[in-house]
Amino acid sequence: MVFMDNFIKRNKKIALELFYKMSKIRFTEEKIAEKYSEEKMRCPTHLYTGQEAIAAAVCTLLKRSDFVISTHRSHGHYLAKGGDLNKMIAEIYGKVTGCSKGKGGSMHLIDRRVNFMGSTAIVAGTIPVAVGLGLSIKLHKTNQVSCVFFGDGAVEEGVFYESINFAILKKLPVLFICENNRYSVYSPLKVRQPEGRNIYEMVKAMGCATDFGDGNDALGVYEKVKPAIESIRKGNGPFFFEFATYRWREHCGPNYDNDIGYRSEKEFDFWKKKDPLRLLEEKLLRSSVVKRKDIETIDENISQEVEAAFEFAEKSPFPEKDDVFKHLYNECAQ
C-alpha cells in the first residue's frame, strides 16, 4: 500500500490518466446499459464494466503508433487507446458517422487514427492478425508493438497456439493480454480447462515470457506491463500476460444475470468489492494528490462528454440504401 501511494505521488499524471480512462469507459458502458432498452441500438453489445483497469493501464503504456486489436468485448480497449467516442456510439446506433460507417456495430470497431486496428466477434480471430502486424513491424523495423486483447476462452482455439508458436519462433514484437474473467458465456473455467492448469504457465512452457497479475489493480497492471513492453521494443520477442478480472454484466447485453444460476451472488459481490475504478479512486484520495471535488469534476466532465456522444449518434443519419455494397471486400473483385 505504501509503495502504491508513493508511486501515485511520483507519477501523478499517469495515475490521473488511468483514472480518467477507466472512468470514461465505465460511464460509457453504463450509459449504453441504461439506454439499450430504447431499442435504438440494434446490435449485440458485450460490456466491459468491471474490467477497466487492464485496458487503461496497457494502453497508457503503448504509443499512439503501436497497434491494438481486440475481441467482441472491445469498447474499453478502443476508448483506452484513444478511439473516437462519438464514432463508437454512432456505430452502435448504426449511423453513417460511425467508425465502421454504421455497418459493423458494437463488435466491429476501428480507429486507424490511433492504430486501433479492429475488433471482431470471432473468438481468437484477431490473435493471428496481431501476430501478422507484429511480423510487419519486424520486417519494416519500425520499433512498434502489436498488442492483442482476448479472453480466457480464446486459449481453447487452435489458432491461439499456432499464433503463439509463430510469434516465439520469429521473436515478434507482440504483447498478448489474456483477460481471464472466469467465464466463456455461461461456462466457468472448470468445465472448459483442466483443474490446476494456469494459462500463463502453459504459455511459458511453449517458450514465451509470461506473467500473471490482478487485473483489477490498475497501478499493478501498469507496473507489470511497463518492463515487458520495454523488453519487446528491445527485440526480445513476445510477452504474454494473464490478468484475473470479472465482468459485472451479462455476457451479451445490458443486464445483470446472476438470477439464471451460472454464477452466485456471493461470487459476484466478492468481485464487485474489487471494483477497479473505486480501488484506484481510494488510492488517489489517500495519497492526497486529488481531493473529492477533483474526482467530482472529472466525473462531471466525462458525463458531459458521454452525453454529447449519444446526442451526436441520435442526430446522425443512417447510411443510404445505395451504400449497402460500399466498403466491402467484393468491391475488389469487381
Kindly report, residue by residue over 117-133, the tens digit of the pLDDT.
999 999 999 999 999 99
Give the integer Cα–Cα distance in Å for 85 and 63. Answer: 19
According to DSSP, the β-strands at 187-188 and 67-70 are unpaired
pLDDT per residue over 280-292, tens digit each? 999 999 999 899 9
Degrees, nearest 5: CA angle 278-279-283: 110
Q: Taking the complete model, does pTM exceed 0.85, yes or no?
A: yes
Give the lowest-confidence range in 152-156, 309-313, 325-329: 325-329
| Model confidence at 199: pLDDT above 50 | yes
Per-residue model confidence (pLDDT) at position 334: 44
pLDDT per residue over 230-274, tens digit each? 999 999 999 999 999 999 999 999 999 999 999 999 999 999 999
Give the integer Cα–Cα distance in Å for 296 and 301. Answer: 9
What is the tally of structural domains in the chain? Answer: 1
Give the integer Cα–Cα distance in Å for 197 and 204. Answer: 12
Is residue 146 within 8 Å of 175, Cβ to Cβ?
yes
Structural domain including 122 reads 2-333
CATH number at residue 119: 3.40.50.970
Residues 84-105 have a mean pLDDT of 97
3-state DSSP percent of the chain in helix, strand and coil, to 5 = 50, 10, 35
Give the integer Cα–Cα distance in Å for 251 and 274. Answer: 19
Give the integer Cα–Cα distance in Å for 46 and 224. Answer: 27
Per-residue model confidence (pLDDT) at position 298: 97
Per-residue model confidence (pLDDT) at position 329: 65
- pLDDT interval class at 322 (50, 70, 90): confident
- Measured N-to-C along each axis, helices 127-140 and 158-169 cross at an angle, to the nearest 10 degrees, of 20
